[in-house]
Amino acid sequence: MKINLIPAAFLFLICIIILASVPSAFAHEHRTVTIANQQVQFTVGWISEPAYVDQLNSVDFRAALAASGSPVVGLEKALQVEVSTGGKQIVLGLDPAYRRPGAYVADIIPTVPGSYAFRFFGNVNGTSVNERFVCGETTFDCVTDVAGIQFPEKIPTGRQAQLSLQDLQSQVSQLQNALKFAYFIGASGVIIGIAGLIAGITAVRRGKKTL
């Protein structure tokens, strides 16, 4: 049987283009949530993975009916996302993803490496939603230091530069305090010396008068 390779190659090219245009959900967490008596599947992760420090990224949130796979639209009006790490939080609004019904994004630049959590909260058709997703090996990527992929020179991140500046300021402050203390000791010594000199001169004069 002779196979026409032209249509097959064309179809393969189309598949590659489609796959390249859709963000990967490999490192995402999937969870089924009941909303208004319907099972809705949440898919959560980063829009760009791996996630690196000081690189523009976005929270990637998708919602679809579990039974049919139909996208759930309009959630940007009902839900927000709280991004947290290291005891700090920020609340971001969700924006519909371009040409991806049922998909939403929230732009963010993570500035420190480590564990991040996304909490989606709000009210959808009378149903309270409060779902928290934490990065990990079985969910989605935690944020990684960008130094591992820098080449040929390692460029300090904003956080590293800030810490270096704070350390330098601390050293300058310590030096200033040391200089102030040295000036104080020196001035005290001069004052004591002058007082001693005056006392000595006074004693000599009294001694002369006594003679």
Domain ranges of the chain: 23-151, 156-211
The Cα 27–Cα 46 span in angstroms is 8
Fold of 23-151: Immunoglobulin-like (2.60.40)
pLDDT in tens, 48-66: 999 999 999 999 999 999 9
Q: Which tokens hold the place of 139? A: 């969910």
Beta strands in the chain (DSSP E): 29-35, 38-46, 51-52, 57-65, 79-85, 88-93, 95-96, 103-108, 117-124, 127-134, 143-144
Burial label for 75, CB within 10 Å (0-12, 13-18, 19+), is: buried
The Cα 114–Cα 135 span in angstroms is 9
Q: Which of 23, 54, 55, 34 is nearest to 140 (CA)?
A: 23
User: What residues form DSSP beta bridges with 61?
Assistant: 44, 104
pLDDT in tens, 104-125: 999 999 999 999 999 999 999 9
Q: Using an 8 Å Cβ cutoff, are 63 and 71 in contact?
A: yes
Q: Using an 8 Å Cβ cutoff, are 53 and 159 in contact?
A: yes
User: What residues form DSSP beta bridges with 10?
Assistant: none
10-residue stretch averages of pLDDT, the chain, 211 residues long: 42 44 68 96 97 96 97 97 98 97 98 97 96 97 92 73 58 71 73 77 66 56
Tell me the pTM: 0.66
Distance from the Cα of residue 33 to its chain's centroid: 27
The Cα 115–Cα 106 span in angstroms is 18
The Cα 72–Cα 101 span in angstroms is 7
